[in-house]
Structure 1
């Protein structure tokens, strides 16, 4: 019979051979998932035997990961803003970079008491909208996505977080068909140039939905599509928070200005990249 320590080391070995950068960290998460307990607890008792069923579950997880399937998809969830979000092959996996939008939006909201209506265009898993609603207890929000499968995941996340009474979701193409106006609009559009996708890590290029990745030839197609809707959807006192890829913020700011919005700030993520462009209608 195999013990926990041996199973962990074997998982680490296979992950390292597959080129997984954080092999030991991921192996700890995997063994915890396979045994149904926290991985740290398991490794605190390395001599403890694991059952054949637990060994098989761990082996299945490792097999998928060495094929470079993202761990979040294997486990079915990803933490974002300290909340757990269900993710599937139909949704973009939330990234820490996108928490820059949450930080900026909450900082702005803290200076006012009237943020009641939030719009999330291209909501995916719902991580942006639901994280904001979790913090802004008096707000309600609408998440829009062109993918019905993604909207189903977002609605499940809202229920799991107890936010389904304040969050609703609708299938749509950016702002098309919307008749409301909003205090806050958050957007994380696809912005990777189409020609760059094949060169990304296989976890991204092979497993995440292209619909949520590709921004066309120059990465700006979705900005060109969504920004023209914003002046009508944003209340005069409202604010837009839109994520941008590396080096894209000048082009995004130009598009915002072209359509009558005033860029206010460019906020850097933890890597020093201008990740969030904010704009107002005033």
Structure 2
């Protein structure tokens, strides 16, 4: 339906949506809620990274909430980057949200107060059982490899190098992947917590930069 209408709502804001770009889900709003709980001062000049931005919803809503923030949003999909730029223009945030077409985030000289991501995390089994309407959405925005962890592991691998001391990464995951994140100290990150979505599923993991960052 969102593709037919050309728009979708997320966190009460309207966004442009086109075929070939992932449709926003209410579960993802948990990322915003967690960020707001972790960073109480909404006027602090935070530097934020949004990995796998899709239509730009997380970056845009965070920019509206954290009024002095600067945000970089990245995605490998040209269609996603184009629609994200349209949405940034729609919400008049061109001076604070910058979208890059890139794979994960290659610039290790950048440092962020926190990172958000809704990466592709569906497994082989989950992909075989998704509803027909979801099958119309872009494969690369859904499929995370056999275990659903391919992109997630790459994000976790780079995070310690681009996260400030006492920074956080807030990431959407499958409830089936929760146990993996309790051992992230091997990556130089500390497990902070798991948060449930509005349906009661464990949906968002939070990791904190380790003592060596």
User: For this structure pair, what is the TM-score category when the shorter chain's length is used for normalisation?
Assistant: over 0.9
Q: Does 1:270 pair with 2:198?
A: yes
Matches within 5 A, 1:1-282: 71-110=1-40, 114-205=44-135, 207-254=136-183, 256-282=184-210
Say which structure is richer in helix: 1
C-alpha contact 1:263 1:279 (8 A) present in aligned 2: yes
What's the Cα RMSD here? 1.4
Describe the SS at the equivalent of 1:163: coil
Is the alpha carbon distance of 1:161 and 1:113 closer, same or farther for their aligned partners in structure 2, counting shifts above 3 Å? closer
Give structure 1 regions of 4+ aligned residues with deviation exceeding 6 angstroms: none
CA distance in 2, matches of 1:272, 1:105: 18
1:262, distance to aligned residue in structure 2 (A) = 0.5
Q: What residue ranges of structure 1 are gaps of 5+ in the alignment? A: 1-70
**Where do 5+ consecutive residues of structure 2 fail to align?**
none
1:225 shift after superposition? 1.5
TM-score by length of 2: 0.94
TM-score, normalising length: structure 1 = 0.71
The Cα of 1:257 is off from its aligned counterpart by: 2.2
Aligned length: 210
For the 8 Å contact 1:109–1:115, the answer to whether it is kept is no
More displaced stretch, 104-113 vs 81-90: 104-113
Larger proportion of strand: 2
